[in-house]
Amino acid sequence: MTHDDKKIPALTPQERKKRMLITRHGMTEQDPVARGTNFNEVNLGYDTQTATAEAKRCICCPVAQCMKNCPVNIDIPGFLSLIAEGKFMDALELIKRENALPAITGRVCPQEIQCEGACALCKMGKGAVAIGHLERFVADYERQSPKKCFIKVAPATGKKVAIIGSGPAGLTAAADLARLGHKVHIFEAFHKPGGVLIYGIPEFRLPKETVEYEINGLQQMGVKIHYNHVIGTIHTITELLDEQGFNAVFIGIGAGLPRFLGITGENLNGVYSANEYLTRSNLMKAYDFPEYDTPIKKGKQVTVVGGGNVAMDSARTALRMGAKKVQIVYRRSRQEMPAREEEIVHAEEEGIDFMLLTNPVELEGDENGWIKNMQCVQMKLGETDASGRRRPVPIKNSEFSISTDLVIIAIGAGANPLLTSATPDLKLNRWGYIVTDEQGKTSREKVWAGGDIVTGAATIISAMGAGKKSACVIHEYLCRK
């Protein structure tokens, strides 16, 4: 993208230098002690003045590297320049041309390794333009304003597409196909749409009202959502195509099958997979007792195993559920933790203990079968492994025990075979993920797939990017027909 084709202001060298002197504007946050006792959102957003000032930090590079690093190809310099002029709804309209979920991506996208990671200011060590905060700002601005920014829908094509799963991959494919005039039906296993956005990521990071608002926007575009529809059980893909008149299918069912440690004691009472713990808390609203009476163990001494976003979310949820002490047990060092830096810092600020270079080897229960102790071993870092990180190696005779009354295992998730095993001719790899080409085309005629069910557990924006790519080729296919 250049100044010519996108109308980004060309700055004078003086103006560019001036902009480079402005420091990044932080976002106000709830106080760490106070927020440990409530489920309200931690980050409080920008006001209009701060947003405009932050957008004015963009130095309008001739080639926008930020945009090149965005899997859904948002016109980032374009929307920043509109915010800098105070044209907030125009900025949102520009974002929505590519991304129907800006309030979500603005909050939970790993910007530090995507758009912001590629920002020229970041490379100069000056702190990237806060692209995520600004994307969130314009989306929130619309939500609080009586004026709305609707996505335009092309005239009806008469073609019908089934989307299986309503996570970020499915929602993005749905938005793009509906925008192009196709009739889109989403089939979702749960009673609510959103996938991990609803059942996984907690309220204090991504308020559910925000997710619902953005999904309502899709429904206003004509997308129909069928809840409690487990495809592979209620209907098969063959039925959707051959009996229900769908012209194409996109599979975006995620990778929600929890992994376990495979050690003694994992079936004790009080040992949860993060998936179950977070689903009980978020989707089934256990955190909102007595309004919702969902059973969940409220531990006093909670131990979370893992070092990703899921581990941080579980630990911070347990704290808010009333735990006196929450500790994260992770087998590598802080540097190798896959969680977003912001989530690690927030967890540290809230008083979560990090037991690094530590690995559980056995879980011990009391006489009633409830978890009581975790036997651990200390680790050191060895050679680099296939993931590019140094392999953790146990240190001999370093075993020790920690007492705990609730253990949450957050060491990743895999592919659920329910749908794939009921779909003949769908090629899978050895881990059960669907094999596709670059555009998401599967081995099965008229069927595309994207998101975690193809890549394994990844990120919201990569799932959205996959949904977008497939929507584009499904559209080409439908137009050819």
Ligand X SMILES: Cc1cc2nc3c(=O)[nH]c(=O)nc-3n(C[C@H](O)[C@H](O)[C@H](O)COP(=O)(O)OP(=O)(O)OC[C@H]3O[C@@H](n4cnc5c(N)ncnc54)[C@H](O)[C@@H]3O)c2cc1C
- Kindly list the residues in this chain that would bind ligand X in the complex (CB under 6 A): 108-110, 164-170, 187-190, 195-196, 200-201, 229-232, 252-254, 256, 278, 309-310, 313, 340, 416, 418-419, 451-452, 457-461, 463
Q: Which two tokens stand for residue 295?
A: 């059973």
Q: How far is 408 from 302, CA to CA, in rounded Å?
A: 8
Contact 453, 473 (CB under 8 A): no
Q: How far is the CB of 63 from ligand X (least distance, A)?
A: 26
Give 107's contacts (C-beta < 8 A, 6+ positions apart). 43, 132, 136, 205, 206, 210
The helix (run of H) or strand (run of E) holding residue 403 is: strand 400-403
447 φ, ψ (degrees, to nearest 5): -125, 130
Q: How far is the CB of 348 from ligand X (least distance, A)?
A: 16
Q: How far is the CB of 194 from ligand X (least distance, A)?
A: 7
Nearer Cβ to ligand X, position 159 or 316? 316
Nearer Cβ to ligand X, position 85 or 437? 437
- Residue tagged 């309008």 (tokens): 60
Nearer Cβ to ligand X, position 149 or 312? 312
Nearer Cβ to ligand X, position 36 or 170? 170
Q: How far is the CB of 450 from ligand X (least distance, A)?
A: 7
Nearer Cβ to ligand X, position 265 or 440? 440
Nearer Cβ to ligand X, position 180 or 206? 206
Nearer Cβ to ligand X, position 45 or 394? 45
Cα-Cα-Cα-Cα torsion 175, 176, 178, 180, nearest 10 degrees, comes to: 160
Q: Which residues pair with 188 in a beta bridge?
A: none
Q: How far is the CB of 205 from ligand X (least distance, A)?
A: 7
Q: How far is the CB of 107 from ligand X (least distance, A)?
A: 8
Beta strand 257-258 pairing with 271-273 = unpaired
**Which amino acid, 200?**
G
Count of alpha carbons within 13 Å of 25, Cβ hemisphere only? 23
Nearer Cβ to ligand X, position 57 or 444? 444
Q: How far is the CB of 313 from ligand X (least distance, A)?
A: 4
Specify the 3-state DSSP secondary structure of 154: coil
- Residue tagged 């080897």 (tokens): 361
**Which amino acid, 244?**
Q
160-164 β-sheet, strand order = 224-226, 183-187, 160-164, 248-251, 447-449
Q: How far is the CB of 457 from ligand X (least distance, A)?
A: 6
